[in-house]
Every structure is written in C-alpha cells, then in structure tokens.
Amino acid sequence: MSGAPILPGATLGVLGGGQLGRMFAHAAQAMGYATAVLDADPESPAGLVSQQHIRTAYDDPQGLATLAAACAAVTTEFENVPAAALQTLARSMPVSPAAAAVAVAQDRAAEKAHFVRCGVPVAPHTVIDSEAALATVDAAALLPGILKTARLGYDGKGQVRVATPGELAAAWQQLGRVPCVLEKMLPLAHECSVIVARGADGSLVHLPVQRNLHRDGILAVTEVFEGNVPPALAGQALAAAKSIAQGLDYVGVLCVEFFVLEGGGLVVNEMAPRPHNSGHWSQNGADVSQFELQVRCMAGLPLTQPRQHSASIMLNLLGDLWLRGPDGAAATPPWYQVLRLPGCHLHLYGKASPKPGRKMGHLNVTAASPEGARATALQAAALLG
C-alpha cells in the first residue's frame, strides 16, 4: 500500500454485499467516501445503499475490472471471496486485507497452523483430507469431537458431531468427503472475541474483549463491559489477537474468536478477516466503530484507540422472529415494542425475506452500567419472545 492516504470523495470498494458490507458503506459514506459493491445478488444489503453495485460473481473478470476502474481501494466483507480476485485487484490498487491473509482465514487447517506458529493454543485436532488420513487417524484421542469442513463453514454449517470412532467415516461422507478438520470437543465456560485493526504502517488498535453467546451455532448475544471476562484472560486474548494479526502482516479489521475453557484456559477457535457480528455493539457503545476502523485502515487514515463509552449488549435479530405468531403476520414488527426501552438502537439490514436463522438485523443496548444494560437487554429479549 502506498503511503498517501485516500481522501474522502474517492470511492471505496467492497467485495461482498451482505450486512457487513452495508454497515461498511454507511461508515464510509458518513466520512464522505462513495462506495462500490461487487455482489451478484440484485437485492444485496450493501448494494442497496452504495453508489455503485456491480452485479457479477466474485471471479468475473469484467466485474473485477469495473470495480477496479471505480475504486481507489478495495476491502472484503466476506472471507470466501476467491483469493485470486483479491490478487487481481491488488495489481492496480491497495487491497486490504491482502489475499494471502484472507487465504489463511479461508482454511481451518491453515488458520490453525498459523495460530500454532504464533504460539497461541488451539483445540487438539487433525486434518482429514483423504481416505488414507481417515484410515490412520488416532480418533480416540480427539473424541467426542466435531468434524468441520476446512473451507466454507459458517454459523455452525459444515459441521458434524462425532461421538465414537465408528461414526467418523459416515460423518466425513456426510460432509462430502472434502478436506476437514477433526477437533476435540472442549468443555466451554464461555466464548469471547477480540477485534483488532491494523494499518499499513503497522499501527494497531483494538476493541475491548467481547463475550459471546451462541445458539445453534449462531451468535445470539454479545456483552461488552468491565468484568465480563476475567482481566487476565482478556489480556491473554488481546495479546494473542495482536500476534495473530502481526504474524500475517495484516492490514484491516480482524476478529479472533476464542474459547474460555471450564478450567480457565484460553484456546483460539477461528478468525474472520473483516468486521464481525460480535463487534456490532461498537456502532453505539464505542466512539469508533469496527466499520469506521475498516474505512480508516483501507484508506490509510490514522488509527486511534477506540474508547468504549457505554456498557453494551448486542442481540441478534434472526428471521425466526418475523416468522413467529399464528400466521407470521403480527400487527407491528417484532422489534417495535423494544424501541420504548432506553438505550435500544435498532439496526436492520434491508433484507426482504425472513428465513429461520437468517440475520435480519441486530439491537444494540447501551447503558451507563453493566447492570443497566443487562436489565434493558432482558426486557428486550422478553419482548422479542
């Protein structure tokens, strides 16, 4: 990346048009940039709010050329963008994060190898990528475990629980015999994540450690306030996230997810080379959001350490909420009553059709104290049903 900053007025591009791209576009536009989105879906949430929406596949040469012509820099909101597309774009403009870093995050095996290189503990695991690997695996040491596809898994998809050695072959079959990682099930006390943002000059800032609750493999709640994670663990998680970013010479926003074990140990789970659902609270609870950090990183603007000003809780709003009720058609939308509560900030992604498990939006609850945030979030959750 060249040293000269890209100034407002320029167009910033994003590969992927989901809600993360939409919130990136909002942050970029607030700072005076225009945005261009590449996503084949004509109704993509980011495409709907951007000055330009290029509706092609990520590997379409014409689409990539159009994006390159429009933009001064490009980022991604989706880790499964082909690394080759990022490499093509990088020939003519700054691309952050770089293709090499995204390629590591795309592959659980490569990702775990990187974590180990950085000296950060990972769950005991092995790679199953062939009949021979399946035949020779010492499964007993890793069971009960979870077989996860090395690529393309998200929100608990592409995973099968394996209790006994006899179930392993069927599980691999069920996942299409693609390369997989077999990982030991660990006793989790809770989960947490850290978002770091690193500039091309090596400057690095971070959001506070976030405590996450998943339901059915999908993030449901994130809590961010003093004491939500023991300080020693928070310190370890932050140090690990920094070394993981530095080890990749990473430029951009990176989310690293951790397991906190029942015994108190910390294990890194996975990383996302982009803003993350668990960082959405920063839109209302911190003075710099994860999306503004993404804009600053890619445009080469100075990075300042975000300051959390409110105890924060984020509740995801899934399509299930919209589909409930006798006929699925209540008089007011599911979030309506919640807006009567103090410090509730509604974010909806402009998606027309709710589906079970589909992320339609989120609610950020802010308060002066953790107790206040908890009380409001509990009331909101009760209203949401």
- Interface pattern 122-141 for ligand ADP (x via CB under 6 A): -x------------------
Cα 377 to Cα 344: distance, rounded to the nearest angstrom:
9
- Cβ–Cβ < 8 Å for 81, 102: yes
Residues that bind ligand ADP (rule: CB under 6 A) add up to a total of 17
Q: Which lies closer to ligand ADP via its Cβ, residue 217 or residue 356?
A: 217
- Is 183 annotated among the ligand-binding residues? yes
For ligand ADP, the binding residue among 121, 156, 179, 357 (CB under 6 A) is 156
Q: Name which position in 100, 133, 169, 185 contacts ligand ADP (CB under 6 A).
A: 185
Burial track 81-105 (b if 16+ CB lie within 10 A, e otherwise): bbbebbebbbeebbbbbbbebbbbb
Quick one: which segment of 16-24, 68-76, 147-155, 367-375 binds ligand ADP (CB under 6 A)? Answer: 147-155
Is 17 annotated as belonging to a binding site? Answer: no
CA-closest candidate to residue 384, choices 310, 323, 311, 342: 323
- The amino acid present at 154, given as its one-letter code, is Y
- Alpha carbons within 13 angstroms on the beta-carbon side of residue 268 total 29
- On whether 257 is known to bind a ligand per the annotation, the reply is no
CB within 8 Å of 256: residues ≥ 6 apart: 193, 194, 196, 237, 240, 241, 244, 245, 268, 270, 271
What CA–CA distance (Å, rounded) separates 304 from 289?
11
Stretch that binds ligand ADP, among 152-160, 314-322, 323-331, 365-373 (CB under 6 A): 152-160
111 binds ligand ADP (CB under 6 A): no
CB of 32 to ligand ADP, least distance (A): 35
CB 333 to ligand ADP: min, Å = 28
What part of residues 260-289 is at the interface with ligand ADP (CB under 6 A)? 269-270
Between 148 and 211, CB nearer to ligand ADP? 148
Compute the distance between CA of residue 12 and CA of residue 36 in angstroms, rounded to an integer: 6
Q: Does 358 bind ligand ADP (CB under 6 A)?
A: no
Shortest distance (Å) from residue 37 CB to ligand ADP: 23
Place of tokens 């509740």: 315
Tell me if 108 is assigned to a ligand binding site.
Answer: yes
Pick from 153, 252, 273, 354: which binds ligand ADP (CB under 6 A)? Answer: 153
Tokens of 32: 């005076």
Would you count residue 146 as binding ligand ADP (CB under 6 A)? Answer: yes
Of 42, 202, 217, 227, the residue at the interface with ligand ADP (CB under 6 A) is: 217
Distance, C-alpha 271 to centroid of its chain: 8
Piece in contact with ligand ADP (CB under 6 A), picked from 83-91, 132-140, 146-154, 339-347? 146-154
186 touching ligand ADP, by CB under 6 A: yes
Residues 6+ apart with CB under 8 A from 179: 109, 127, 128, 129, 149, 150, 151
User: Which token pair is 359?
Assistant: 């992320």
* Cβ nearer to ligand ADP, comparing 70 with 160: 160
159 annotated as belonging to a binding site for a ligand: yes
Q: Is the peptide bond before 42 cis (omega within 30 degrees of 0)?
A: no
Strand locations in 208-289 (E):
210-215, 218-224, 252-261, 266-272
Annotated binding site for ATP: 108, 148, 153-159, 183-186, 191, 214, 269-270
Instruction: Please report, in range form, the residues annotated as the binding site.
Output: 108, 148, 153-159, 183-186, 191, 214, 269-270
Footprint of ligand ADP (CB under 6 A)? 123, 146, 148, 153-156, 183-186, 188, 191, 214, 217, 269-270
